Chain A
Amino acid sequence: EAGVAQSPRYKIIEKRQSVAFWCNPISGHATLYWYQQILGQGPKLLIQFQNNGVVDDSQLPKDRFSAERLKGVDSTLKIQPAKLEDSAVYLCASSLDGLPVLFFGPGTRLTVL
């Protein structure tokens, strides 16, 4: 069974630039999550989708972050404009209905200069 796929793996941008991350969850997993992980901390939820509807985006900085999940499969997370404090690893994860266990992708390491 293929795992959660993410791209790119690494990204370096200047502050005020924009960046987008892509995620493809495990086949059949209806719930998709984007997390932000800062070095030395646990993952922090940014947004949770159930199929293509948003379940929780209470911690998403909506003035600069946006996310979508078209057709209930792939998802993209965008930051525009980026700030220095956005430097982190962005993790995509998915879970199966009825089994609340998370499966993570490899993450995208973002550096904002």
Chain B
Amino acid sequence: AQSVAQPEDQVNVAEGNPLTVKCTYSVSGNPYLFWYVQYPNRGLQFLLKYITGDNLVKGSYGFEAEFNKSQTSFHLKKPSALVSDSALYFCALTNAGKSTFGDGTTLTVKP
């Protein structure tokens, strides 16, 4: 069985500060990890993915994520948050053709 955990339902940061949205996973075999973002009244959008190789992955809108195999984590980061980054963020794991999503983390960036 595979699983994804996003331990924080809500993350609040001030604009200009760095942000981190946490994700841990459990899977047998190699993980294929993704981050998606859902803006209000809009569909989920792909942000970035880790397949293999460099543990630091860069994606859209200045986001990046660090894959840590020993800690089974794939945390999403951004050096300087924008108010427009406020949205619902999902971490996802795909293995053997099945995708498992975390419960989502609501990011609120305050001016």
The finding on whether chains A and B are genuine partners in a shared complex, rather than unrelated, reads no
| B interface with A by C-beta (< 8 Å) | none
Residues of A participating in the B interface, judged by any CB pair closer than 8 Å:
none
